[in-house]
Amino acid sequence: MKPIKYLLILFLAIGPYLHAQRLVKTVNSAWEFQLGNSNSRKTVNIPHTWNAEDAFTDGQYFRGKGIYHKEIFIPESWSEQAVFLKFEAANQLTKVFVNDKLVGEHIGGYTAFVFEVTEALNFGSANEIRIEVDNSHSADIPPLEADFNFYGGIYRDIEMIVTGKSHFQLEGEAAGNLLIKTPEVNENMARVVFEGKVVNPNENLKLQLKIWDPSGKIVSELNQPVNTGDLSVDLTIDDPKLWSPENPQLYSLQADLIDIRTGKTIDSFFSKFGCRWFKADPEKGFFLNGKPLKLIGANRHQDFQNMGNAVPNSIHRKDYEMIKDMGANFIRTAHYPQDPEVYRICDELGLLVWTEVPVINDVTDTEAYHQNAINMQREQILQLYNHPSIVYWGYMNEIFIRLVFTRDMQEEAKTAKIKTSVELAKKLEAETKKLDTSRLSVMALHGSDIYNTSGIADIPDVIGWNLYFGWYSPGLENLGKFLDEQHKKYPERPILISEYGPGSDSRIQTNDPKPWDYSEAYQLKSHVSYLNQVIERDYMLGMAAWNFADFGSSGRQDSRPFINQKGLVNFDREPKDVYYYYKARLTKEPFVYIAGKNQETRYISKDSLVKLKVFSNSDQVQLEIDGSEKKEAQVKDNIAEFSLELSEGEHRVTAISGKAKYHRNIKVFFKENLLENIENGPLLINIGSHSDFIDEETGEIWISDQGFSGDFGYVGGDTYQKSKDKFQGIAANIKGTDREPLFQTMREGIDSYKFEVPEGKYRVSLLFTEPNRGASTQNIYNLTSDEIQSEKGLREFDILINGNKVEKNLNLAREYGILQAVEISYEVITEDGINIEFKPEKGKTIISGIRLEKL
Ligand code: GCB
């Protein structure tokens, strides 16, 4: 049965029991919002952040205070009740005032908090609510720094909760959650322990507890008197229906507080839970309900294009449905607890979860920092306790990375840093186990031995490695070696890969992928290799790709600035090729997909073949070309590769494997004919790159560069390379364009670019950028000639088109500034061909792209 249908039945089954003895309602709409010291207010709805736009403009975003105001009418009839405000989260320091009275303060941006406001309210009249939220950097609040945006605001729901004077506890770290523990589960029985606190000033109460099994049948019932204070009930379920990714069956528990004198229910608590058991074996991997299960999935950040972190529940749901749909069984909510809805969804869908608190990159050696980190872990565990999906409580990510990458750090300072981090890890481990012995503790490390030598890696139950071989460090194949070494050295330590994967950009397409080219093809190649290397190692618990979706990170300058592009899907959740690859690799329903959604137009040379990759979960794929010709290929690692001899023009290819079918139209152009057909459209060249670049706005394709051997191409020079083994070009924000990759790749030291065009009038547009960050425009004339020699960026060159000098001493830095997109168009009348010559005066010549149009 589909989960939705099944839930509906469950809901109908338990519907009558959900009496509204506790009023819970959102208070999200129409708050008056004021940012920083500004006097102006605007009306906003919660979820809200003030950084949805500015985090994507110049690498800086507002970090400070925002104030939310609202008048709320409180009815007279509530005066005998208790009233609470619950915040699912606000980033990151929050103060709540009711009628100018401070009712509570919360530290931390990713967990919920509840304040009782009864005493501050005026009943039967309007009440002024003011919420001050501050996302300024604080040395005492994790995270100190990280590769994602700390968007400020009340970005999750606000609820108002009204109960009787006696009620289940709402205030406190659990934010109203009562714990359902399953300390013992096997095929025959599950022990269920229900724990909570009752606030009971004056009534004579009893507790009525019911448990429904996944089919809606009551399997346990209990009535007992309760007093104020701690509550603990121990129950047993026979033949429990086990929760698993294939069959995520959930039990429901409802606890009612009943006034014995009147028989009325005065407060209720409802939660689902699940019965399952698991372990992490350092030799044999992860086991769920006694069976081995390789954990394969992704990490997920909570932001979305144009919304920052203020996303509705529907987007959370869609994300996890997509993750489930691609066949994953595992998710890491990196790097912080996510919306409560997320864990409900993972329970329902059957995704195993690693959830963690945001202690990232660095630790402050203060009591306050340590305590805040511990409180976050307490809140996370107590609030999310009942979710059967959660199997790991995480508490640190790459905690030594700042230390490793800080140059000139004194030995003493390093030792102190290690000491405070290890101490904090020990405290977090102790706190985690104090609250929950049934789950595994975990931390994520970057590829450095310092975690082993410092002893920190021995603290949690499980170690996650964030490994970027083939990206930050060379060689995809080094992954397996690294893992084997670790496993051999630490045979008692269960390990998994908590992050891996390169950045990619759907605008960059090639059949010849290289590290750092940001192509979808390189991303695919790298994920295939990682999957192979992990799946063949039994001791590996599993792996989580970095990241499910592209996400905002204001400090990043990749091929799309301010965005981390390692997503399997884009920031707007449009899948990249690799997403479909996972689907082929991990799902069982017949599936076939022709890769290259963004590569439907191919520019090839006449004598070469069109390469197609087809993803499939069967052994063989048949390809039908233009309805008649058929080809067949074996599937290896869920990919069937085809090399097709296709004529110029449009072709329809259909891939068939078993019951699954997929069509794609492929348009082929021969490069040799482009100049001949230039009347039909411009020739666009992505100079300095082996990839085609697709302009998302116009659909134009800037084809990969080529050397001249007749027809068109460059003469002389080298591909511009900022650092060896890395990006061919410069990964930096280029001002004045959103076609960054076009300007980021260049040819340096080029002598000329030639086109054997027929006679006529043409427009030649040349694209440039000065990549040298050191080439300052201000002090350029103050440098001595020696300095000029050493400053590679200080270049000046002439440009001649068919012998006519069109630029004299072109100095990009001086005339336009560095990292600025520059486009200059020239009109040319020719009788025979176009030759663009570049003559250096100082430094090396450089160019990023050419557009050639016939007029
Ligand atoms: C990491 C971090 C993660 C980054 C990622 C990256 O190791 O844990 O927060 O976003 O690398 O893309 O560099």
pLDDT digit string, tens, across residues 268-290: 999 999 999 999 999 999 999 99
> Looking at residue 155, which CATH number applies to its domain?
2.60.120.260
**pTM of the predicted protein model:** 0.94
- Atom 10 of ligand 1: nearest residue by CA position: 147
Q: Are residues 451 and 309 in the same domain?
A: yes
Q: Which pLDDT value is given to residue 725?
A: 60
Listed as ranges, residues in the chain with pLDDT below 70 are: 1-20, 723-727, 774-793
Q: Largest alpha-carbon pair distance within the chain?
A: 105
Instruction: Determine the distance separating the centroid of ligand 1 and the alpha carbon of 115, expressed in angstroms.
Output: 35
Is position 62 within any domain? yes
Domain count, the chain: 5
> Looking at residue 836, which CATH number applies to its domain?
2.60.120.430
> Which two tokens mark 224?
């007992």
CA distance 131 to 116: 14
The dihedrals phi and psi of 377, each to the nearest 5 degrees, come to -65, -40
Pocket residue to mutate for ligand 1, from 144, 147, 302, most atoms within 8 A of Cβ: 147
β-sheet bridge partners, residue 399:
none
Q: Are residues 20 and 104 in the same domain?
A: yes
- Pick from 644, 549, 562, 86: nearest CA to 298: 549
Terminal-to-terminal C-alpha distance of the chain: 63
Closest ligand 1 atom to residue 472 Cα is 13
Q: What is the pLDDT of residues 106-139, one digit of tens each?
A: 999 999 999 999 999 999 999 999 999 999 999 9
- Atom 3 of ligand 1: nearest residue by CA position: 147
The DSSP letter of residue 472 is T
Q: Which pLDDT value is given to residue 726?
A: 65
Is position 595 within any domain? no
Instruction: Determine the distance separating the centroid of ligand 1 and the alpha carbon of 147, expressed in angstroms.
Output: 6
Q: Are residues 377 and 476 in the same domain?
A: yes
- Atom 2 of ligand 1: nearest residue by CA position: 147
Is position 281 within any domain? no
Pocket residue to mutate for ligand 1, from 360, 471, 564, most atoms within 8 A of Cβ: 564
Write out the DSSP string of 10-68. Answer: HHHHHGGG---SSEEEE--S-EEEEETT----EEE-SS--S-TTGGGTSS----SEEEE
Closest ligand 1 atom to residue 553 Cα is 10
The dihedrals phi and psi of 488, each to the nearest 5 degrees, come to -70, -40
Instruction: Determine the distance separating the centroid of ligand 1 and the alpha carbon of 335, expressed in angstroms.
Output: 10
Is 848 within 8 Å of 769 (Cβ atoms)? yes
Q: Are residues 608 and 682 in the same domain?
A: no
Pocket residue to mutate for ligand 1, from 546, 553, 560, 726, most atoms within 8 A of Cβ: 546
CA distance 401 to 816: 37
Is position 207 within any domain? yes
Is 257 within 8 Å of 233 (Cβ atoms)? no
Closest ligand 1 atom to residue 444 Cα is 8
Is 344 within 8 Å of 362 (Cβ atoms)? no
Q: Which pLDDT value is given to residue 724?
A: 66
Is position 596 within any domain? no
Q: Which pLDDT value is given to residue 112?
A: 98
Q: Are residues 204 and 301 in the same domain?
A: no
Instruction: Determine the distance separating the centroid of ligand 1 and the alpha carbon of 459, expressed in angstroms.
Output: 22
- Atom 6 of ligand 1: nearest residue by CA position: 147
Instruction: Determine the distance separating the centroid of ligand 1 and the alpha carbon of 108, expressed in angstroms.
Output: 21
* Domain boundary, last residue among 618, 640, 671: 671
Q: Which pLDDT value is given to residue 159?
A: 98
**For the chain, what is the total number of helices (H) and then of strands (E)?**
13, 54
The DSSP letter of residue 373 is H
Closest ligand 1 atom to residue 335 Cα is 9
CA angle, 248 then 535 then 353, to 5°: 35
Instruction: Determine the distance separating the centroid of ligand 1 and the alpha carbon of 693, expressed in angstroms.
Output: 26
Helix (H) or strand (E) holding 381: helix 367-384
- Pick from 674, 761, 746: nearest CA to 710: 674
* Domain boundary, last residue among 115, 138, 168: 168
> What is the residue whose two structure tokens read 């390809």?
623
Closest ligand 1 atom to residue 146 Cα is 9
Q: Are residues 697 and 733 in the same domain?
A: yes
CA atoms within a 13 Å half-sphere pointing along the CA-CB vector of 7: 10
| Domain range for 355 | 291-588
Q: Are residues 727 and 847 in the same domain?
A: yes
**How many C-beta neighbours within 10 Å does residue 179 have?**
18
SS3 label, residue 81 = strand
Q: Are residues 24 and 87 in the same domain?
A: yes
> Looking at residue 628, which CATH number applies to its domain?
2.60.40.10
Is position 149 within any domain? yes
- Atom 4 of ligand 1: nearest residue by CA position: 147
Q: Are residues 254 and 341 in the same domain?
A: no
Instruction: Determine the distance separating the centroid of ligand 1 and the alpha carbon of 399, expressed in angstroms.
Output: 12
* Domain boundary, last residue among 651, 671, 691: 671
Closest ligand 1 atom to residue 397 Cα is 8
β-sheet bridge partners, residue 839:
798
- Atom 7 of ligand 1: nearest residue by CA position: 466
Q: Are residues 847 and 724 in the same domain?
A: yes
Q: Which residues line the pocket of ligand 1, CB cutoff 6 A?
A: 146-147, 335, 397-398, 446, 466, 499, 546, 564, 566
Instruction: Determine the distance separating the centroid of ligand 1 and the alpha carbon of 361, expressed in angstroms.
Output: 10
Is position 372 within any domain? yes
Axis-axis angle for helices 367-384, 411-435 (nearest 10): 30
Instruction: Determine the distance separating the centroid of ligand 1 and the alpha carbon of 85, expressed in angstroms.
Output: 35
> Looking at residue 327, which CATH number applies to its domain?
3.20.20.80
Instruction: Determine the distance separating the centroid of ligand 1 and the alpha carbon of 467, expressed in angstroms.
Output: 9
Instruction: Determine the distance separating the centroid of ligand 1 and the alpha carbon of 422, expressed in angstroms.
Output: 21
Instruction: Determine the distance separating the centroid of ligand 1 and the alpha carbon of 566, expressed in angstroms.
Output: 9
Closest ligand 1 atom to residue 398 Cα is 8
**How many C-beta neighbours within 10 Å does residue 328 have?**
26
Pocket residue to mutate for ligand 1, from 499, 504, 563, most atoms within 8 A of Cβ: 499
Is 704 within 8 Å of 689 (Cβ atoms)? yes
- Atom 5 of ligand 1: nearest residue by CA position: 147
Q: Say if residue 34 is exposed, middle or buried (CB neighbours under 10 Å; 0-12, 13-18, 19+).
A: middle
Instruction: Determine the distance separating the centroid of ligand 1 and the alpha carbon of 634, expressed in angstroms.
Output: 36
Q: Are residues 640 and 787 in the same domain?
A: no
Q: Are residues 446 and 332 in the same domain?
A: yes
β-sheet bridge partners, residue 185:
190
SS3 label, residue 252 = strand
Pocket residue to mutate for ligand 1, from 299, 466, 497, 500, most atoms within 8 A of Cβ: 466
Instruction: Determine the distance separating the centroid of ligand 1 and the alpha carbon of 276, expressed in angstroms.
Output: 31
Instruction: Determine the distance separating the centroid of ligand 1 and the alpha carbon of 563, expressed in angstroms.
Output: 12
CA angle, 481 then 482 then 485, to 5°: 85
> What is the residue whose two structure tokens read 């105001």?
69
Is position 283 within any domain? no
Instruction: Determine the distance separating the centroid of ligand 1 and the alpha carbon of 146, expressed in angstroms.
Output: 8
Q: Which pLDDT value is given to residue 787?
A: 42
Closest ligand 1 atom to residue 551 Cα is 10
